[in-house]
Amino acid sequence: MKPVILTGIRSNADLTLGNYLGAMLPLINIQKAHNHDYQINMFIPDLHSFITPIDHSTLYQRTIDNLVAMVASGLDIDAPNSYIYRQSFIPAHSELTWILDCFTHVGELNRMTQYKDKSLHSPIVNAGLFNYPILMAADILLYDALYVPVGEDQRQHLELTRNIAMRINKQFNQKLFTIPASWERQVRFNEHGTSGLRIRNLRHPELKMSKSMADPNGTILLTDDPKQAFKKIMSATTDSKNNINYDFKNQPGISNLLQILAILKNTSIEQTIKEWIGKTSYTDLKQITAESVEQFLKNYQDNITKVNVDKIMAKLNKDEKLINNIANKKLNLVQKVIGLRS
C-alpha cells in the first residue's frame, strides 16, 4: 500500500479558466510529480453538488464532461497508481458520513466560515451545506489519505477532518483512521504546484472567477471562442497607477493578469514579476496575456475533440469496482469498532 493523495473537482458547473489554473492543472501536476510514490485518488465529488442549487438534469453528463476536460488537459488515465471514480458510485461515502456525523459537534460546524459565507448569498440554505464538511471528511478518511491538496478556503474543513479522526481514534483506543497531514505539511508538500490558487474575475478582480457572476465578460469559460477570450482579457479591469506590481491588495487586476500569464507560460510567478515589475504599459501586459489565453484555448479545444470517451468510461467502471472494495473494507472495520458488526 502506498500513501494516498486525494483530490477532485466538482461536476456541477461550466469549467472556467479559473478552474483550469486553480484546480485542474494542479491535479495534473500532482499526478506527474507523485504517481510513482503515492496512490492518487482523483474523484468527482458529485454529491457535493447538491449543497447549492443546480440543474439536476445535466449533473450526470457534466461529470463525464469534466473527466473529458481533465484528460484533454493532460490527465493520464493509464498511470498505474492513479484512480478515477465518482463519489456517488461509492456508497461507503454516504454511510461513513452518518457515522462521522455522530462524532462531530454542532459547534464545530457552526464555526465553518464557508458555510457562513455561502448561506448569506443563498435564498434557501439546505442542511447539506451545513453538513458537507463531514462528507468531505468521509471522502478523506475512507482511504487513509495523507495529503489532500486544497485551497485556503478548505483549511477549516481539513482541520475538522483531523479532529474527527483523532477523536474517534482516541475514544476507541486504536488507529482506526490515518490522520491527514497538518495544514503546514500540506502546504510544503504542494509547494511545486498551484493548488488553491484563486484566479480573479476579470471585471471584478476582488472576487474569484466564477460563472455565477452577473457579468459574463469577467469570466473565461473553457468553451469560449478563443478570440472572444482575447477580447475579455484586453478589457480586464486594472487601475490608474500606471505601474505594474504584484500586489493583490492594491492592484488586484494587474496581479491577476501576472498570475495567469505566469502559469500559462509555465514560468514561476517570481520570474514573471521580475520581468514586468515597474513597467508602465498595462496594454502590453494585457496583450501578451490575451495571446497566451487565446493559444491555450485553441490547444485545449483541439485536444477535447481527440479524447476517447469510451476509454474513460471503461477506466471509470474498472476503478469504481476497485475503490468500492477498498472503501467497503474501511467501512466494515469502522462498523466493527463502533459496535455495528461482530
State the catalytic residues. Answer: 118, 208, 211
Q: What is the DSSP string of 58-109?
A: GHHHHHHHHHHHHHHHT--TT-TTEEEEEGGG-THHHHHHHHHHTTS-HHHH
SS3 309: helix
Is the Cβ–Cβ distance between 190 and 26 less than 8 Å? yes
Is the Cα dihedral 277, 18, 132, 122 positive or negative? positive
DSSP per residue, 243-281: S---BTTTBHHHHHHHHHHHHHTT--HHHHHHHHTT---
Structural contact between residues 4 and 145, judged by C-beta atoms closer than 8 angstroms: yes
Specify burial of residue 82 (Cβ count, 10 A radius: 0-12, 13-18, 19+).
Answer: buried
The residues, any chain, with a CB within 8 Å of residue 226's CB and separated by 6 or more, are 293, 294, 295, 297, 298, 301
Distance between CA 248 and CA 233 in Å, rounded? 17
Residue 325 corresponds to which cell in the numbers above?
A: 472494495
| Sequence-separated (6 or more) residues with CB below 8 Å from residue 65 | 11
CA 28 to chain centre: 11
